[in-house]
Structure 1
């Protein structure tokens, strides 16, 4: 299950994508439009800014805007930034592998075999779905 923070981050990115290329939105606008608590949104946008997804502009036409095209922002990379590894078991994580404490043999672990298929399918969907796809309801999955 993804965290509320990750869900809000994705919703904020979608909201910025809806605004259009190079268009800024102030935090209050995003907060109201997406029903995200303003203080929490500030923290999320700062994290997204540090990671190079968004930028902020000061002044009269200031606010936040996407730094990358919506087509280039994948759900998987946002989830990994906010929530960490996208794996149902620690022994299946690509970036934070850890042997399961209760497993004596990963090669023969029936549970691992099933969840490996789940992890692969999940990664495939998340890493092939962009913010632009979310706007259109499209997916690159056949």
Structure 2
């Protein structure tokens, strides 16, 4: 699986919105500046997340975007599915968008050895991505910024193991 630029930017924007959850709405331009996301592309992403019921928006001086679902109730996997579609590596193992594979030589999908492996891949991917909520994702990043490790790239490097 390869994370698309769209999902990467969407998750980065949602980190900012999780940080501001329950406080203020954030302007698109502010999110774009902090997270280094092109404003036009960010607008497309935010609108998709709004249509999916994760974000709300309000126009005006005090306006902007905000999470309308608690960050504890939205998984990273859910966000990626909204922005990129199914997580499954091939369509015949998708839980949300099943299709038979094009030119499949097997009359029964269950006879396909590729499918057996891809079920395991799908389960591993969805297990990890659905296991992280936006709150956990945000907390993970916040903890990394606080904890320092002198073993990695100097004194100010962040540690993945802490």
Question: TM-score normalized by structure 1?
Answer: 0.89
1:120 equivalent in structure 2: 123
Once the two structures are overlaid, the 10-residue window that deviates more, 95-104 or 27-36, is 95-104
Offset of residue 6 of structure 1: 1.3
Given the alignment, which residue of 102, 113, 118 partners 1:110? Answer: 113
Higher relative contact order (CA 8 A, sep 6+): 1
Offset of residue 58 of structure 1: 2.2
Measure, in 1, the Cα distance between the counterparts of 2:61 and 2:81.
34
The Cα offsets for residues 55-108 of structure 1, whole Å up to 9 and x where unpaired, read as: 112232211111111111111111111111110111101122111223314223
1:53 equivalent in structure 2: 54
Measure, in 1, the Cα distance between the counterparts of 2:73 and 2:81.
15
Report 1:17-96 matches (<5 A): 17-96=18-97
SS at match of 1:56: strand
Measure, in 2, the Cα distance between the counterparts of 1:116 and 1:41.
33
* Residue segments in structure 2 that go unaligned for 5+ positions in a row: 142-162
Are 2:98 and 1:97 aligned? Answer: yes
Report 1:123-134 matches (<5 A): 123-134=126-137
Measure, in 2, the Cα distance between the counterparts of 1:83 and 1:65.
21
Question: TM-score normalized by structure 2?
Answer: 0.79
**Following TM superposition, where does structure 1 have runs of at least 4 consecutive aligned residues deviating by more than 6 angstroms?**
none
Contact 1:26 1:64 (C-alpha < 8 Å) held by counterparts: yes
Q: Highest CA radius of gyration, 1 or 2?
A: 2
Measure, in 1, the Cα distance between the counterparts of 2:87 and 2:49.
18
Measure, in 1, the Cα distance between the counterparts of 2:37 and 2:105.
40
SS at match of 1:137: helix
* Residue segments in structure 1 that go unaligned for 5+ positions in a row: none
2:10 equivalent in structure 1: 9
Measure, in 1, the Cα distance between the counterparts of 2:39 and 2:87.
27
